[in-house]
Chains A and B, each alone.
Chain A
């Protein structure tokens, strides 16, 4: 199965995919921004402040999603001794971290006019901050250790430690009293967000996903080029 991932073959795809993804990203982002900033209605309670949500929520989702992906890839890479999976997860990490920071900052900007405070040490916000720290640890680990075997083990360990935090972030609003509101979009029960607001939210999520993919492709191509330079045609 892993034979498919020979750098030469995969580089052919990833280097060409870039411009298509860029095009798609620009299209989806412009639709999303028009929807979110102009066409969608204001909220009955918080009026235009609701528009921050269209950045805040997708950013938070994607930072959680990318961290889960990092963990899955690192653990698989560790179990099956597959170097490529580590390179994929290394290339994914920066956009996850950036979206995590975006979620924290937009949350603070939204919190000031609605809650009346920039920051609260409530379970949701604190656990999100912890996730950001895990991202930092992960990224720093790649820079510190020269030896690949070592860096693979350490980053796997960091992701395994950090993944415990992900369900805590998700369910913190249900388990404890928090200042942060609970989830509006539920699979099992009724969604408490009006469809005119749900639509831009999903478009923006798609746009942010494409952006992560874009950054991933750039980073991953660099990794593949580095491999080529070293004269390695196998991962």
Chain B
């Protein structure tokens, strides 16, 4: 139906695409460590050595874990399997609250204690008006 040239050009495009997909897949696979924005407490627990490098830990702020004193704020990040204690002095974003997502940037003291130099709030994918939220909580 189509000419030989048309088929050749089609084959050429398919070839380029397949090669690209495979190579990009391999590159991303090998760079996975750098592509992720943060690590979960479970992944921190599994670290073989605690480097001096700056890292990010993310998860939920555990309910009833936030305590604030004059110097610093401390809370627990959990992924519902493992937990990590975070200490931070500075301003937290508005959306930072218990039971919500958070990403802390800083340094590990050991596998259980983390000193943050920056706190980011992670927003989840739920959008609803306050009345609906209240109705949901009543249930």
Q: Report which A residues bind B (CB closer than 8 A).
A: 41-46, 50, 53, 75, 78-81, 113-117, 120-123, 157, 160-161, 163-164, 168, 176-179, 181-184, 192-194, 196-197
CB under 8 Å from chain A, chain B span 119-137 = 119-134
Q: Which one of B45-53, B68-76, B87-95, B107-115 is at the A interface?
A: B87-95
Contact between chains at B128 and A197 (CB < 8 Å): yes
| Chain B minimum-CB-distance residue to A113 | B94
Contact between chains at B24 and A164 (CB < 8 Å): yes
B21 at the interface (CB under 8 A from A): yes
Query: How near does chain B come to A156, taking the closest CB pair, in angstroms?
Result: 8
What are 5 A-B pairs with beta-carbon distances under 8 A?
A44-B134, A45-B126, A46-B95, A46-B123, A177-B38
Cβ contacts under 8 Å, B121 to chain A: 114-116
Majority DSSP secondary structure for residues of A touching B: loop
Q: Report which B residues bind A (CB closer than 8 A).
A: 6, 9-10, 13, 16-17, 20-21, 24, 28, 32, 35-40, 58, 92-96, 100, 103, 118-134
The 10 closest A-B pairs by CB, nearest first: A116-B93, A41-B129, A44-B133, A194-B128, A122-B37, A44-B130, A193-B127, A184-B125, A181-B125, A177-B36
Cβ contacts under 8 Å, B127 to chain A: 43, 50, 53, 184, 192-194, 197
Query: How near does chain B come to A104, taking the closest CB pair, in angstroms?
Result: 17
Interface centre among B21, B37, B40 (most CB of A within 10 A): B37
| Chain B minimum-CB-distance residue to A186 | B125
Given A115-B93, A116-B120, A177-B37: A75 and B125 within 8 A (CB)?
A: no
Contact between chains at B13 and A116 (CB < 8 Å): no
Contact between chains at A45 and B123 (CB < 8 Å): yes
